[in-house]
Structures are given as C-alpha cells and as structure tokens.
Amino acid sequence: MQLDAIFTHGAVRHLGGARFFERGAAYAASGRVRKLKVDDEAVTATVRGNRVYQVRLWAEDGGPVYSCTCPVGEEGLFCKHCVAVGLVFAGRDDEPGLPGTEDDGTAVDLRSYLHTQRKNTLVDLLLEQARDDDFLRGRLFLEAAKKSGASVDLDQFRTAIESVINVGDFVDYRSMYAYSSGIQDVIDSVERLLKKGHAAEVIELCEHALTCLEDALGRVDDSDGYMGGIKEQVCELHHRACVAGRPDPEALAKRLFEWELHSEWETFYGAAETYADVLGDEGLGVYRHLAEEVWAKVPAISSRDERERSHSGFRFNITHMMEALAGSRAISMRSWTSRAVISPTPSLR
C-alpha cells in the first residue's frame, strides 16, 4: 500500500522533527488516538488533546500530505497530533499500544525506548505536556491527591477539578465527549473518597465542582446532555455525603438556599424536599425563614414592569421554593400567592 511506504516511523519522525515528535509519541503511547480508519485513500483518526482534534494523512504525487484541526495543524505543520496518528498507523500491526514499524529492518518499540530513559527526562517531558494539556494536568493532580493516604489533600483535588472543568473560550460539540469524560473520571475519584469515609471532604469538593460546572455550562455545546448528567450526579453525590457526614444543618440550609435561589442551572432544585432527611426541623426552619424573607419582597406581577422581566429566573426559583414549603406545611396556595400582587418592590441581587 502506498501509505505504508510513505508514513513509516522514520518518515513520521522526520516530518514531526524535534519540536513535535516526542510529544506526539507520548500521545500515541498513552492511547489518545481513537477511531483510526485506514483505506486506500487516507488515514483518519481523532486525537484527544485539550480538545478532540481530527487528523487526516494521505498521499499526493507520491509524497505525504496531512491535516489537523488544531491551531498548529491549521498552519500547515506536521503537529504532535499528526505524529501520534502516524505512529499508530505505522505500528498498527505490532503489539497493541506500542507504536512502531519496520524502519531500516528494526522494529521500534516505544515502550522499551521509554524504559531506557532517565526518570528526570520522562518527568520533564510529562510536565511539559501537562502545561499544554488541561486533561493530563488534572489527572496528574488527581493521582497525586490519591497518594496522600489516610488524609485527603483538598487543594490537589480542587486543582484537579478546576483543571478538567475550566474551559477556554468554548468547547464545541465534537470535543464534548472527551471533555466530559475527563470530568467524569475526577468525579468518580471524589465518589471513591466517600466510600473511604471522607464525607465532609466530599461535601466541600462537590460544592466546588458545582461552582466550576455552572461557570463552564455557558461555554460548552452540551447538545447530548453530558454536562447536565454530570451535574445531576454531583448533586446526588453531595446529598449522599451529607447523609453520611451530617453537617451542621443551619449552615447547610443557608448554602442550599443560596444555591437554589440564584442558580441559573437549577442546581439543588427542590432542596427542601431532597435534603429534609439531613436538615431536620432545625435546618428546614432556617431554610423556611430565609425563603419567607425573600418572598415578602417579591414585587407585584406587572407586564409593564421591566424589572420583573430581568428577574424572571429569580421569581421562578423563589416561587418553586415557596410552593415546596407550602406543600410541606399544607397551607393554602392562595394565602401566599396573593402576596405577589401586594408586596413592595424588593432589593434584589
């Protein structure tokens, strides 16, 4: 096949040069190349970096041609993603996971090569890659946090959460699966902390994750609902941690109230009912008092009131909260809904 003769291990090394070859080889060795397809016309694959990039290798006039959707690839360079795909393609008939090929008669075993390198060399290479790869950096922080033994290094877990959730300008639809998979890995590790008895730490980490998720939700294409599902999972994990850890009910009630009232993503929606088993009478009393204070300031409904339109999300949240509380007290809906017509204009956030 013509492509076999063109994209050999030696050719890939030459095309990538010192600038991209080692980093591309690390990508290939760590399994970041997915959906490799080979036909008579081209080699195509996806490579998971900061996002998921599309790579295509083909031949024209007997020479190599290539493209990648990453910023470097779009400049026409044989980037690290092209290197990774080229190595996997060249070594596809060798042992799985060991990109290599026949080049001057000797099979190149990348794993064996890495074993011959100094530890400091590999550490430096990994750290250099982690500076450009949020997913890898988060995983490294997470692994370091898990090595802390009986204690939980919350700072490292928080850093891992931020590294995998915080986005740049935008995460497009094609990149969402890899992006959300990285978040899922971190949340799974937080869940394992709960099984080890670290309920208080899990409560704090869940709330930190939810803060990051809410910030990211407006800058991703979540058409398939990956992020929404993860947010629901974190909320459910938070509740389980509260059941296990029994935090101070008054402090928890205040935090849940603020989340539910001001969240644009329905975080902790229906908290009074969901957390009743944790809040008890004391916590629910605090939650009710806060809700009634806010409800007393809700303005009368007026189609001509422009401020009402700007606070529609706020009104929806407090109305639902009051409905839940009214149901729990078995009071007439009419006794408090009528208040919306006569209440003074509030000072709202």
Per DSSP, the residues of 256-296 read HHHHHHH-SS-TTTTHHHHTHHHHHHHHHHHHHHHHHHHHT
Residue listed under structure tokens 């939810």: 210
Whether residue 102 is found in the same domain as residue 142: no
pLDDT computed for residue 149 by the predictor: 53
Q: 272: Cβ–Cβ under 8 A, 6 or more apart, which residues?
A: 279, 284, 287, 288, 321, 324, 325, 328
Phi-psi region of 60 (alpha: psi -120 to 50; beta: other; left: phi over 0): beta
pLDDT for 290 equals 94
* Whether 96 and 195 share a structural domain: no
- Kindly state the tokens that stand for 103: 């080049």
Find the domain containing 74 and state its range.
2-119
The per-residue pLDDT for 185 is 82
Q: What is the pLDDT of residue 70?
A: 86
Distances (CA, A) of 97 to 14, 25, 108, 333: 22, 11, 12, 64
- Total number of domains constituting the chain: 3
Structure pTM? 0.56
Residues of the chain predicted below pLDDT 50: 94-108, 150, 308-311, 330-349
- Distance from C-alpha of 146 to C-alpha of 148, rounded to nearest angstrom: 5
Q: pLDDT of 56-113, one tens digit each?
A: 999 998 899 999 988 889 889 999 999 999 999 988 754 444 443 333 333 446 677 7
Q: What angle do CA 258, 264, 270 make, to 5 degrees?
A: 55
β-pair type (63-68, 102-103): unpaired
Same domain, 231 and 252: no
Residue 59 resides in a domain: yes
Q: Looking at the structure, tell me whether residues 301 and 198 fall in a common domain.
A: no
Domain boundary among 219, 245, 271: 245
Domain membership flag for residue 125 = no
Give dist(CA 98, CA 25) in Å, integer. Answer: 10
**Is there a domain that residue 94 lies in?**
yes
